[in-house]
Amino acid sequence: MIRVMVCGAYGKMGREVLKAIHNDTQLSIVGAVDVKSDFADIGDLIGIGQTGIIVGNDLQTVINETKPQVMVDFTRPEVVMNNIRVAIQNGVCPVVGTTGLSETDVNEIRNSCTQTKVNALIAPNFAIGAILMMKLAQDAAKFFPHVEIIELHHDQKLDAPSGTALHTAELIAKTRGYLQQGHPEEVEKLPGARGGDFSGIRMHSVRLPGYVAHQEVIFGGLGQTLTIRHDSISRECFMPGVVLACKHVLTANGLVYGLEEILK
Ligand code: NAD
């Protein structure tokens, strides 16, 4: 059994992860942490009755007491780097779903993995359908270089654009490079109306109650458009990817960035 702890256990994703690990025959939850903890039993959080595993409020203490091999982190953009540093310093492999990491952060994690020989896996999106959307978008960009991205999420999301939208743009930019899109003299009458700009790809973020996580990649060509759309209808969609990552990370080689790296 692989010993897993969950960081952000009280959160929307944290609770789903606890359930998914509990239901897997090769993974075992040994610990959980959340800054908001009032020391609940994880069994009460996910409706399986008392387990004796209590959610702590300090990561280092939980690691010391539960000796996990893997830490799954679904917390917040401003705290995730510290959690990753603590995990790696303690020889615990991080599996990170929290979005909002910068390129500098990812490079720091990569170097830290190389130096310590502790593996890590970061996936801006754990949904397999979203990975396919990104792959198809990267292929389509060879033939349709004009593209915009619209991502739609629930209104509690902290970062914009989403990690998935940024990763999609990175992959498209790898295929087609920088391209000035739209009319060169276009004017924004309302600042931001044309969205963010990643290598010429315009990106638009919608935040509304009711959404989970959705994205459209819209390509435009002569007399035609092509839309690739992915919808996460419930947070369960991320769990097969998280479970796979927990199993893969122990034998990976340093940092794995993107679930697509282990779905080849
Ligand atoms: P949430 O606000 O419901 O949960 C976050 C939890 O983290 C909260 O319970 C909070 O108390 C806890 N927390 C905050 N700081 C902490 C710390 N220092 N240590 C321990 N716990 C701490 O958020 P959510 O909807 O569960 O999303 C969490 C993150 O996961 C976000 O960054 C979101 O964008 C990302 N996300 C990623 C994917 C993916 O596939 N990679 C999918 C969905 C969400």
- The catalytic position among 146, 153, 214, 230 is 153
Q: Is 153 a catalytic residue?
A: yes
Q: Give the chain's length.
A: 264
**100 CB contacts (<8 Å, ≥6 apart)?**
76, 77, 78, 80, 158, 159, 163
CA of 74 to the centre of ligand 1 (A): 4
Please name the residue whose Cα sits nearest to atom 4 of ligand 1: 11
pLDDT score for 264: 75
What's the pLDDT at 124? 87
Token pair listed for 211: 């959404």
Pocket flag, ligand 1, residue 22 (CB < 6 Å) = no
pTM over 0.85: yes
| pLDDT of the residue at 22 | 96
- What pLDDT score does 74 carry? 98
157 is catalytic: yes
Distance CA(214)–CA(150), nearest Å, equals 8
List Cα–Cα distances, 230 to 30, 138, 153, 157, 215, in angstroms: 34, 15, 12, 18, 5
Which residues in the chain land under pLDDT 50?
A: none
How many whole angstroms from 77 Cα to the centroid of ligand 1?
8
pLDDT at 234: 92
To 10 degrees, the CA torsion angle through 234, 235, 239, 240? 30
